[in-house]
Each structure stands twice: as structure tokens, then as C-alpha cells.
Structure 1
Amino acid sequence: MLAYRHAFHAGNHADVIKHLVLSEVLRYMGEKDKAYTVVDTHAGAGGYALDGRYAQKNAEHLGGIAALYNRKDLPEPLRQYVQLVREFNQDGPLKQYPGSPAIAYMLMREVDRLRCYELHPTDQRILASYLDERPNTQVLLQDGFAALKSELPPPSRRGVVLIDPPYEIKADYGKVIATLREALQRFADGTIAIWYPQLQTVESAQLVQRLKASAEPVAKKGWLHVRLTVAQADERGFGMMGSGMFVVNPPFVLHDKLAECLPTLVDTLGQYDGANYLLEQQTA
């Protein structure tokens, strides 16, 4: 687990779909005056140098944010997401990519609470330094899976949980399901966003159905599932084909916002003729 560094993958197609969803959820939360809490269970370093040796190893951002960064014809939700990345680069050339805590920092208000959990000591120190001046913020060197129950329900009864482990070990899949169930027991109307990789493994293939089965009896506002498939597995069946987000108690506007953006993402980020997307929703 501690070997994983998101810097190798920063700004790739998976970050694009993840952070598009996250930014739309947070924009919606900010429309009401009442404060809310964001809990990021696998927060990372907060920002990543795209010209650094980690990001340059596979240059995954070229098939992600770099393909969108200078486009002038993007749908509005996608344009707003790209604008956040531009602001992180001070409206200059694309050299840095914001992680989920940075996206949250840019969209949250001072009254809103931010709780970030990260197990890699170096990334935790970098993130703590980045968020040092933000009020109502804690950056903790702890297991986000285990710690989440202590955060729920949040004081204002308004909250967003982001769960996006690396899934480098199969146990993460079971932990995601168990964490979702426990979170909904404590906070049945909270918005819980779960990222997952699209792989040719049994665990990946079964995860969404298991998430649906866990959410449907409890979630007060149903669920939304979006998946972006951009690539094919290699001849051995290895490689990430795409990724998805499963959002429990989603904002009612999220479905239409994503439907507006997904054709553009397929056209721009797709790496083969069969690139596609899936968008489905169940309302309570």
C-alpha cells in the first residue's frame, strides 16, 4: 500500500472523470449557506508536478488533462473543471495537476470542514504543508477506511465522502464495500463518491453490482454510476481500460451535467474506436 504514489498517474483519464464528478458535487454543496464537511479517505499529496520524473515515466496526463487543457469548445461543466486546473497553474502552461484535496480547497468556503487521510508519510507531509493555512482543516497520517466512522455524521449533517484507494491489493475492494455500508448506517443521506478502476478482474467486474446492492436499501436519494472506457486491455488482459465513479445520494443535477460532457470525453480521450461511456442512475 505504501509503495503507491499517485504522482505516476496524475492528470490521466481516471483523474479527469474523478475530478469532474467531485467538482460538480462540491459546486452543488456550496449553493446552500449551511456549512458542509468533505472527508477524503485517500488524499495523496494534493498536487503533482507533471514535468517531474514520476509523472514523466508514463506521461499519462497526455491522454487526460493535457488533451483538454487548451480546448475552447468544451461543455460548461468540463470547462469549469479545466479552469480549476488552469488556476492551479496560475493560468499558465500545464505543469502541475491538482489532486482531490486541492480541488476541494479551491471550491470550498472557509466555514466548510475538510478532513484528509493519507498513509504515505511523504505525501501526508506535502499535503499538510499545502493546506496549512486553510481553516477547519485536518490532514491525518491514518488509514482513511478505519477513520471514516469517526467523522460521520458530520456536525452540520451535510457532507461529502470521497473514497478512492489504489486497489493495488484485492482487499481494497472488500474494504470499499464494508466502508460504504458502515458510512450509510451512520449517515444515510450523505453523498459518498467512490472511484474504481475498470480492469479485467473478477473484483473490478463485480464491484459496481456490490455497491448497488449496498446502497439501494439505505441511501435516501439513490445512486448514480458513470464509467468512461478509453482503452483496451493488452493481449494478456492487463491494463486499465477506464474507470468509473459510483455516487450515493448524488446531487439531482449531476446526471445531466455528466451527460453533457461524456461524449466529448470519449471523443477526446478515447484511445480506440470502441471507446465508450456508461451513465445510469436510480432515484430513491
Structure 2
Amino acid sequence: MLSYRHSFHAGNHADVLKHIVLTLILESFKKKEKPFFYLDTHSGAGRYSLLSREAEKTGEFIEGIARLWDRDDLPEEVAKYIAEIKKINKGKLRFYTGSPLLAVQQLRPQDRALLTELHPSDYPLLRNEFAKNAIVVTKRDNGFQQLKAALPPKERRGVVLIDPPYELKEDYELVVRAIREGYKRFATGCYAIWYPVVMRQHVRKMVRGLEESGIRKILQIELAVRPDSDQRGMTASGMIVINPPWQLEKQMKKILPYLTKTLVPEGTGSFKVSWITPE
């Protein structure tokens, strides 16, 4: 199935969480001069218009990025993320960066990125976005396959973002399988896995699969906008980070209360930061 289009959801609360975590990971990697490799397995289009028919139809960004845009009380970690979004906007919020653009904006000349996308409509947009960028390679491919084909990177340092659409419940199992394959080849890499909470049992099964993999140092970060439900729709989203930067746990415990209060002013939100498996 290739029906999912992120243009309907760009800039929502899940993107905010995902992209803050990604920004903090990349910031940590840049503290060393040595180059690193960035792999985005399910890249999407690269950037999204918040004035598009798709974005206006759902309006999800209104309860996400728009609630942070003009605030003057942003924590430092959140302000760095907002600064990246402002790079493609001229004052007014009109566009939102997908994960690949957000990441590439933060890479240095010595770093390298591989961006993969399979959707026939999104891939040309992704390719055109980065056509003139010398440190970026784009491929129309199944991103899960790149955890076999592209790892280990020559740099021996790397960040892998795994962000499938979860159109099918099997995607949760595919994530675990892909992580096992990637980790066998590149055990020191930092793997950041985004997931939605639509049916909690699918997330529990994925977490159990990661626990059973024997991999250590797996941190789970989650932001909920309302309690779990058996009704249709995403109630929460999270990031599972393998080999996280040492300060990420502390950073997220600091800013998640702020994000919960700001993104979910109705008081129905909650968050957690916990270890699936410690070091």
C-alpha cells in the first residue's frame, strides 16, 4: 500500500516531538568534528506547504507547530528546532520541513545523507528538493532495505531515522526486523524510530520485539494528546532511540512538561521518558 501522504499531517504534534528529538540527536553528533552519516528510510517529500489543500483539510499543524511558532517562552532545546523551521519561512508560518530537510539543514560539509522514499508522487519532490546538494543522495527504494545495503557507513558514525507510515500493522514487525538487521552491521549507530499510538497493542508488541532482540541502551520517549482509546485516530506518538546521546533523556524530561502544556492546553496530555532496556 502506498496511500499514505504526509502532506495531510505535516507539522502536527507527532512531527513536533519527532523533529525535536532528531534535532537534539544531530546537535550531539556535531559536537565532534568527525563526519557522520544520516540515513532517512522513509523520507516523504522533504518540505510541505501548510497552505496546501491537504494541510488545510486536516488542520493538524494548528495544534502542533502553530502553537509554538510565536511564543517567547520556548526552552532552549525547543527554540533550536523552531529556528530550523523558520529557515524556510519568511516571518509567517507557511511551510514545514519534513525530516530529511530538517536534518540536511543541520549537516556540515563533511557529513553525508542518504534519503529514500518509495511513493511515486513524493519521490520526485524529494529528488528535486536536494538535486543540487552535494552531500545528499536520494533513492526511490524501500527504506527498510537500506539498513542492509547502506550499513555500516564508511564514516563509522551515523544516525538512522526510521519513520514508516504504519499503514499496515505489519509495519511494527518490519521495524523490529529492520533494526535487528541494521544493528548486526552497525551496532554503534544511533537509531531513532518514530511510532504512532493508534492501537496500543501494536506498540507493545514492537517494544517486546526490541526487548527480545538483546539490544541494549533503548530509550522510549512518548507524548500523548489524549488517553489511549479503541476509537479511530492517533492518541499519542513516540520515539524509540537506540544508543541515544547521553544527555537526551535529561533534555526530554526537561522539555516534555512544557510541550504537553503548550500543545495540549485542554489538560488531556501526558508524557513519558523511560528505558526499554538500559545499558
Partner of 2:17: 17
Partner of 2:222: 227
- Paired AA for residue 199 in structure 1: V
Partner Cα separation in structure 2 for residue 60 and residue 161 of structure 1: 26
* Mapping of residues 1-284 of structure 1, within 5 Å: 1-90=1-90, 92-214=91-213, 217-219=214-216, 222-232=217-227, 237-270=231-264, 272-281=266-275, 282-284=277-279
Partner Cα separation in structure 1 for residue 3 and residue 125 of structure 2: 16
Decide whether the 8 Å contact of 1:227 with 1:279 is kept in 2. Answer: yes
TM-score normalised by structure 2 residue count: 0.95
Residues 234-280 of structure 1: CA deviation (Å, up to 9, x unaligned): 6x522100100000000001111111210011101126433110001
Of all paired residues, the percent bearing the same amino acid is 41
1:132 positional shift:
1.3
- Paired AA for residue 64 in structure 2: G
1:13 positional shift:
0.3
TM-score normalised by structure 1 residue count: 0.94
1:201 positional shift:
4.5
Decide whether the 8 Å contact of 1:110 with 1:134 is kept in 2. Answer: no
Task: Give the secondary structure class of the aligned counterpart of 1:57.
Answer: helix
Partner Cα separation in structure 1 for residue 190 and residue 6 of structure 2: 24
Unpaired runs of 5+ in structure 1? Answer: none
Q: CA RMSD in A?
A: 1.4
Decide whether the 8 Å contact of 2:195 with 2:238 is kept in 1. Answer: yes
Partner Cα separation in structure 2 for residue 7 and residue 123 of structure 1: 10
The runs of at least 4 consecutive aligned structure 1 residues that moved more than 3 Å come to none
1:176 positional shift:
0.2
Task: Give the secondary structure class of the aligned counterpart of 2:165.
Answer: coil
Decide whether the 8 Å contact of 1:199 with 1:205 is kept in 2. Answer: no
Q: Which moved more, 1:186-195 or 1:225-234?
A: 225-234
Residues 172-220 of structure 1: CA deviation (Å, up to 9, x unaligned): 1111000011111111110000000012252133222322332xx234x
Partner Cα separation in structure 2 for residue 278 and residue 213 of structure 1: 21
Q: Which moved more, 1:39-48 or 1:224-233?
A: 224-233
Decide whether the 8 Å contact of 1:231 with 1:271 is kept in 2. Answer: no
Decide whether the 8 Å contact of 2:160 with 2:192 is kept in 1. Answer: yes
Task: Give the secondary structure class of the aligned counterpart of 2:87.
Answer: helix
Partner Cα separation in structure 1 for residue 252 and residue 267 of structure 2: 21
Aligned residues: 278
Change (3 A) 1:233 1:276: closer
Unpaired runs of 5+ in structure 2? Answer: none
Task: Give the secondary structure class of the aligned counterpart of 1:88.
Answer: coil
